[in-house]
Amino acid sequence: MFAAILNCIAEVVAGSAAWLGRGLSCVCVQRRDSDVSNTFDLTLAQEECLQRIQRRIDVPYDSSIIEHQDALRALWNAAFPEEELHGLISEQWKEMGWQGKDPSTDFRGGGFISLENFLFFARNFPKSFQVLLRKQEGDRSVWEYPFAVAGVNITYMLIQMLDLEAVKPRNLVGATFLKFLAENGSAFDLLYCITFKLMDHQWLTMRASYMDFNAVMKETRRQLEKELLIEDIARLEDLPSYKLLSR
């Protein structure tokens, strides 16, 4: 512990980014000269919530862990209750928009939290989840985005947008989000559901095809940032895009 602190101090002195202290009592502030004055102060409750979500983000998907296997099976059952899954490695996964027969290789960008996000979505908004999974709404492109790959991408985008890997948020959207998170520990998962639905809405509005996926994600992020900064929004349920979701 003491060695860790010294090491942390040494790194700060050397001017490199140092990130320590999740779970330790020492929190070593990330110091790059350009951003040191641009962090937002947090309440103790917000700081604890940030650390809790950082611990979630740090968990990679690990197919040797039973809990992870169970979660993946649960996702299948939530998605296709009428169809039996033949194995954790199976061609069937492609029906859900995974790239191959083993979803664990697609989790790299998002980690276990992206599986948790999927499950939260399927359980809390089963109607919207099914409509998106089965592409039941709107005039769809011939070259559709793959549902599961897009979901992992959304988790990843949100972590970047909210700057959740920094010791303290360095942008206003990230700081604002921590207020919602301190009010409700499911705020990240709920924002994921809103984002997925909003992304599909933009996709249809832009009459996009898979080549446009990154442009759609960019537009989704822009819209989300705008909504999160609307004054008087006390809960994520008050975001305009929340209305797109149905249970």
Q: Which residues bind ligand NAG (CB under 6 A)?
A: 149-150, 153, 156, 184, 186, 190, 213-214
- Minimum Å gap between C-beta 236 and ligand NAG is 7
- Minimum Å gap between C-beta 26 and ligand NAG is 31
Output 40 or 120, the one with its CB closest to ligand NAG.
120
Please enumerate in sequence order all residues whose Cβ is within 8 A of that of 240, keeping only pairs 6 or more positions apart, or say none: 227, 230
Taking the C-alpha atoms of residue 225 and residue 79, their distance in angstroms, rounded to an integer, is 29
- Minimum Å gap between C-beta 8 and ligand NAG is 30
Output 114 or 223, the one with its CB closest to ligand NAG.
114
Per DSSP, 88 falls in state: S
Chain-centre distance of CA 181, in angstroms?
A: 13
Q: Helix, strand, coil: what percent of the chain each, to 5?
A: 60, 0, 40
- Minimum Å gap between C-beta 25 and ligand NAG is 28
- Minimum Å gap between C-beta 37 and ligand NAG is 28
Output 46 or 153, the one with its CB closest to ligand NAG.
153
DSSP per-residue string spanning 4-70: HHHHHHHHHHHT----B-TTSS--BPP--TTTGGG-----HHHHHHHHHHHHHHT----TTSHHHHH
Q: How many CB atoms are closer than 10 A to CB 148?
A: 23
Output 166 or 199, the one with its CB closest to ligand NAG.
199
